[in-house]
Structure 1
Amino acid sequence: MTTLTAKDKQVVRDFFGKVGKNAEKIGHEALARTLVVYPQTKTYFAHWKDLSPGSPMVKKHGFTVMRGVLDAVDKIDDIVGGLLVLSELHAFRLRIDPANFKILSHNMLVVLATMYPEEFTPEVHVSVDKFLARVAVGLSDKYR
């Protein structure tokens, strides 16, 4: 399991403190990219009428995802405990394959690197990648 050092945690807090104001756009872009590049993820959203990248539902859910990520930043010292309710929701009600958390995390990294090329330094990349891996573990916790 990936361990976040005190330095990683500070890097993540600082980075998301800067980019969090664009959470809606980041979340939308990351989810839209996920649905396009990994079309198998569309099965979880079959009840939506429009899964195109600019659709209101994709934008709305992308923002919901980013609010969860920002919440995890606030709970960075106990991500698994902090994401317990979301883990239960995804495991028991939504029944999302936990592999999708890693897919979305990867797409979020791509979006962050694209939107913030100056701020997304190698150090930030490593820390944010480790953080998103911990978020994926936290969301997967109730699957065990």
Structure 2
Amino acid sequence: MVILYRLAVDAVRAGEVGYARMLTSLIRRIAERSRVRPPRWVKRGICKNCGAPLIPGVTARVRLRSQGGMSYRVVVCSLCGWIHRYPYKIRGRAPRSRGGHEGERGEPEGGGEEGPPLEPRRDHREEWDHRGGYRGDQAEAQSQGRDQG
């Protein structure tokens, strides 16, 4: 699939858009029949409307937009005008949550309403036995037996 996509890109650069569309339709047929997903960069590099390879500056216009706290990569096919929007995350920043942001101790930062106190997180790997049993019940039973004796 990657080889066919590269051939399609070379065909577009040579001016053979019809041949490139035939190659991209072949990529889709191979993916459907063999039940193998093409890589994300190949899938996003093909116009979903006309089937032409999307090459920035040649067959596509690429813009970065932010709207309502989300950032999008907007790709417009210059052959058919189809608009593709792909969300992306800026490196180094945490994604915004819909609720209030919580600090280290589980308290909401800022001027939000305080809810019930949050329990500390437990490490569940330590609680499960390798045989599929729950260690917490065994530990409680053993501690109760020691306390009584």
What TM-score bracket applies, with the shorter chain setting the length? under 0.3
Larger Rg: 2
* Greater helix share, structure number: 1
Normalised by the size of structure 2, how large is the TM-score?
0.24
Higher relative contact order (CA 8 A, sep 6+): 1
* Greater strand share, structure number: 2
